[in-house]
Amino acid sequence: MRVLVIGSGAREHALALALSRDPGVTAVLAAPGNPGIANVAELFPVDAASAGSVVALATEQKADLVVIGPEVPLVLGVADAVRAAGIPCFGPSAAAARIEGSKAFAKDVMAAAGVRTAHSEVVDSPATIDEALDRFGPTWVVKDDGLAAGKGVVVTTDRDAARDHAVEILENGHPVLLESFLDGPEVSLFCLVDGETVVPLLPAQDHKRVGEGDTGPNTGGMGAYTPLPWLPEGSVEQIVSEVVEPVAAEMVRRGCGFSGLLYAGLAMGAEGPAVVEFNCRFGDPETQAVLALLESPLGEVLNAVA
């Protein structure tokens, strides 16, 4: 099986490395890739977000499977275009990728599925920021209701910092999502999902703040580890049955069933797991830790989902 990996990050390097270890994978190709990926794959200088270019490359290179790493091409419908060309693709449709692309859509799905998550409000005008902030915090959680790769989130006990971030998001033309703060250690659970079928991988934890001792602004993730020795037994089963399966079923009910990697970011509070965010792709950096311990052949697994 010839597998084409789309993306250029450490996540795609981890995917390409794990694919290269699968005896059923005869060639790993990557676009655009990076110098680390070049050690295990042939690189092609193709724009990951261009559906036409990705389809042309996959066709020309006779790819048997395309694996899309980042969220931007997924939200833009690159997986739809690859499938429409008759090539199996690991990654959700644009309609399903809204679970990450629009936090308001994700909240709506969770409400319908009865999944515990933070209380939230969308603010779309500077005139209503102050009264909305008064209904939250401290601690304030201020998010960009769009794709921000984890960097659009400010978690702070400083009301002025929360307000400044909200104003900046609005000035960039995006709505602001204010959320109640969820207490408890965070878990990233990656699930292979195809419609209502859900298969979890090992739970991981990433660390998002830029500074030592969990200080400074949030990033997409500074580092990650798995397994989680502190996580009570049965937690993964609980997250799957209380969170991921109901959300997968709700998406099928809405006609936008998810096929690919559904990433549930959760806070493990006293009342059980509550969703911080969903992502429509493998997490970065958690993928580096999770795939290092995966014993199953990755190509076979991703192809089965596709």
| Nearest distance, CB of residue 125 and ligand GLY, angstroms | 28
Please name the amino acid found at residue 180: S
Which residues 51-110 are close enough to bind ligand GLY by CB under 6 A? none
| Nearest distance, CB of residue 147 and ligand GLY, angstroms | 11
Residue of 64, 145, 179, 286 that binds ligand GLY (CB under 6 A): 286
Segment contacting ligand GLY by CB under 6 A, of 43-51, 137-145, 175-183, 281-289:
281-289
Of 70 and 257, which CB lies nearer to ligand GLY in the complex structure? Answer: 70
Segment contacting ligand GLY by CB under 6 A, of 14-22, 34-42, 122-130, 277-285:
277-285
| Angle ∠(170,152,177) on CA atoms, nearest 5 | 55
Hey, which residues does 66 pair with through a beta bridge?
Answer: 4, 89
Residue of 32, 77, 220, 297 that binds ligand GLY (CB under 6 A): 220
User: In terms of DSSP bridges, do strands 197-200 and 140-144 run parallel, antiparallel, or are they unpaired?
Assistant: unpaired
Residue of 284, 290, 298, 305 that binds ligand GLY (CB under 6 A): 284
Residue of 64, 179, 206, 242 that binds ligand GLY (CB under 6 A): 206
User: In terms of DSSP bridges, do strands 89-90 and 65-68 run parallel, antiparallel, or are they unpaired?
Assistant: parallel
| Nearest distance, CB of residue 152 and ligand GLY, angstroms | 11
Residue 58: closest CA among 67, 50, 46, 66: 66
Segment contacting ligand GLY by CB under 6 A, of 34-42, 56-64, 171-179, 279-287:
279-287
CA 13 → CA 41, 150, 205, distances in Å?
Answer: 9, 20, 19
Of 81 and 290, which CB lies nearer to ligand GLY in the complex structure? Answer: 290
Contacts of 224 (CB under 8 A, 6+ apart): 188, 204, 205, 206, 207, 283, 285, 286, 288, 289
* # residues near ligand GLY by CB under 6 A: 8
The Cα 261–Cα 248 span in angstroms is 11
Please tell me whether residue 283 binds ligand GLY under the rule CB under 6 A. yes
Please tell me whether residue 12 binds ligand GLY under the rule CB under 6 A. no
| Nearest distance, CB of residue 132 and ligand GLY, angstroms | 25
Of 156 and 279, which CB lies nearer to ligand GLY in the complex structure? Answer: 279
The Cα 221–Cα 202 span in angstroms is 18
| Nearest distance, CB of residue 252 and ligand GLY, angstroms | 24
Which residues 138-157 are close enough to bind ligand GLY by CB under 6 A? 150
The Cα 133–Cα 146 span in angstroms is 20
Of 15 and 81, which CB lies nearer to ligand GLY in the complex structure? Answer: 15
Footprint of ligand GLY (CB under 6 A): 150, 206, 220-221, 279, 283-284, 286
